[in-house]
Amino acid sequence: MKKHLIEFLILSTIFFSIISCSNKNKEDSEIPVARVYGDYLYVSDLEEIIPDGVSPEDSLNRVKSYIDFWVKRQAIMKTAEMNLIEEQKDVTEELEDYRMKLLIFRYKQKFIEQNLDTVVTDSQIEQFYNENQAEFLVGQPVIKALYIKILKTTTNLEMVKRLYRSSRERDIEQLSDYCVQNATKYNDFNNEWIYFKDLLIDIPIRVDNQEEYLKSKNYIEVEDSVFSYFASIKNYRLKNSIAPLVFVQGNIQSVILNKRKQKLIDDLENNIYNNMLDNMDIELFEGTNN
């Protein structure tokens, strides 16, 4: 208990030193917080780890976590330095390789930001979809459906049972007008594809094998103590069949953008190479291609 109290008092002193640094000169802010061999962590090093609006308790926790992190990192680094031979401690080549990769990456990112066309039209998405349908498969059954949830005591329930199975436009309009006024839920999902499981969530029915169910039934009619449930399955696609466009639009947009990025980078690299060859900034010496 005494140890924790001392630790808390030390951290509190450090914390208040940090927040008061703005009123002190540089020398006053260089108060040591921790030491590992000859390396020191100072109060000024901790200033940026406490963002505005953080409570004193959270700030103390952040300070403690960072001090622990710094001490452990320095300790393992010092141990590594003492136990590795000089050749193993020479990281010049690795640092230069990392610097080169980092500079190339940053330049490519900047070039992409300045030159990438990020507009992907619906027609471009549809064209890509039509040319690559085999690449887009659904992982579970999807359907187009009409769904009704209505009180069992509703008048004209027999009319609803008859109309929801009809494909005639006049019957569909009549059903829609009636259900908008009387049904608890009425949804044709804008004639878009949905996952079959999403429809089943709201219907009190157990379906162990969705694919076999869809193959054998076009309609669902069930009830509980209060409601009647009706669903007309107008179309369906089983698992591993071609996915409807609506399900893969986002993926296709990402693929198109990634292809554009790659082409930009390929063109950039080739143009730089060819321009430097033309300007004789690159020279391939005889025999280097053998």
Is 129 part of any domain?
yes
pLDDT score of 8 more than 70? no
Q: Which domain holds residue 250?
A: 92-136+243-280
Is 256 part of any domain?
yes
Phi-psi region of 250 (alpha: psi -120 to 50; beta: other; left: phi over 0): alpha
Do the Cβ atoms of 148 and 185 come closer than 8 Å?
yes
Q: Are residues 123 and 55 in the same domain?
A: no
Q: How many domains does the chain have?
A: 3
Q: Are residues 171 and 233 in the same domain?
A: yes
Q: Are residues 185 and 169 in the same domain?
A: yes
Q: Are residues 41 and 172 in the same domain?
A: no
Please tell me the least confidently modeled range out of 3-12, 64-73, 237-246.
Answer: 3-12
Predicted pLDDT of residue 125? 97
Q: Are residues 157 and 225 in the same domain?
A: yes
Pick from 177, 145, 150: nearest CA to 161: 150
Q: What is the mean pLDDT of residues 14-34?
A: 59
d(CA 2, CA 8): 10
Q: Are residues 276 and 207 in the same domain?
A: no
Is 188 part of any domain?
yes
Q: Tens of pLDDT along 86-124?
A: 889 899 999 999 999 999 999 999 999 999 999 999 999
Is 41 part of any domain?
yes
Predicted pLDDT of residue 93? 93
Is 148 part of any domain?
yes
Is 290 part of any domain?
no
Q: How far is CA 73 from CA 38, 68, 166, 192, in A?
A: 14, 9, 72, 55
pLDDT score of 253 more than 50? yes
Predicted pLDDT of residue 59? 76
Q: Are residues 127 and 254 in the same domain?
A: yes
Q: Where are the beta strands (DSSP E) in 37-105?
A: 39-42
Residue type at 192 in one-letter notation: E
β-partners of residue 151 are 227
Q: Tens of pLDDT along 31-59?
A: 888 899 999 988 888 777 777 676 777 77
Q: Are residues 13 and 78 in the same domain?
A: yes
Is 196 part of any domain?
yes
Q: Are residues 42 and 176 in the same domain?
A: no
Is 286 part of any domain?
no
Q: Are residues 112 and 197 in the same domain?
A: no
Q: Are residues 153 and 79 in the same domain?
A: no
Among 51, 72, 87, which residue terminates a domain?
87
pLDDT score of 26 more than 80? no
d(CA 275, CA 7): 63
Q: Are residues 142 and 263 in the same domain?
A: no
